[in-house]
Amino acid sequence: MALSAKQRKYLKALAHHFKPVIQVGNAGVTAAVVKEITQALDAHELLKIRLPGIDRDARHTLLEEICETTRAEAVQEIGRMAVIYRRAKKARLKLPE
């Protein structure tokens, strides 16, 4: 499910005041990290993640790997912070059309 620009804008606004729920370390995307992200997405749908202090391209690749592994959509990536979204079975957030 690809997010429209309007939906991304809405989700960015919602996530603005969130604190990071998950912090990815220098070890990258391990099985434990994927498990924690999956559980957090099931509970919250919208999630802020702190990425490791590596170069920009490596962080972007890491975020793509997280999204692919957890079947989530990247909403925003600013510096070491990333916001991802995955609709839950019982949706909590109502996205604009």
Q: What is the CATH number of the domain that holds 42?
A: 3.30.110.60
**Is there a contact between 62 and 49 (Cβ–Cβ < 8 Å)?**
no
- Cα separations (Å) of 48 from 61, 97? 17, 23
Residue 35 lies in a domain: yes
Residue 30 lies in a domain: yes
Residue 56 lies in a domain: yes
Residue 18 lies in a domain: yes
Distance CA 31, CA 95 (A): 30
Domain count, the chain: 1
Domain containing residue 72: 5-85
- Cα separations (Å) of 75 from 26, 31, 86, 93? 22, 22, 10, 14
Residue 92 lies in a domain: no
Q: How many CB atoms lie within 10 A of CB 59?
A: 19
pLDDT tens-place values along the chain, 97 residues long: 688 999 999 999 999 999 999 999 888 889 999 999 999 999 999 999 999 988 999 999 999 999 999 999 999 999 999 999 999 888 888 888 8
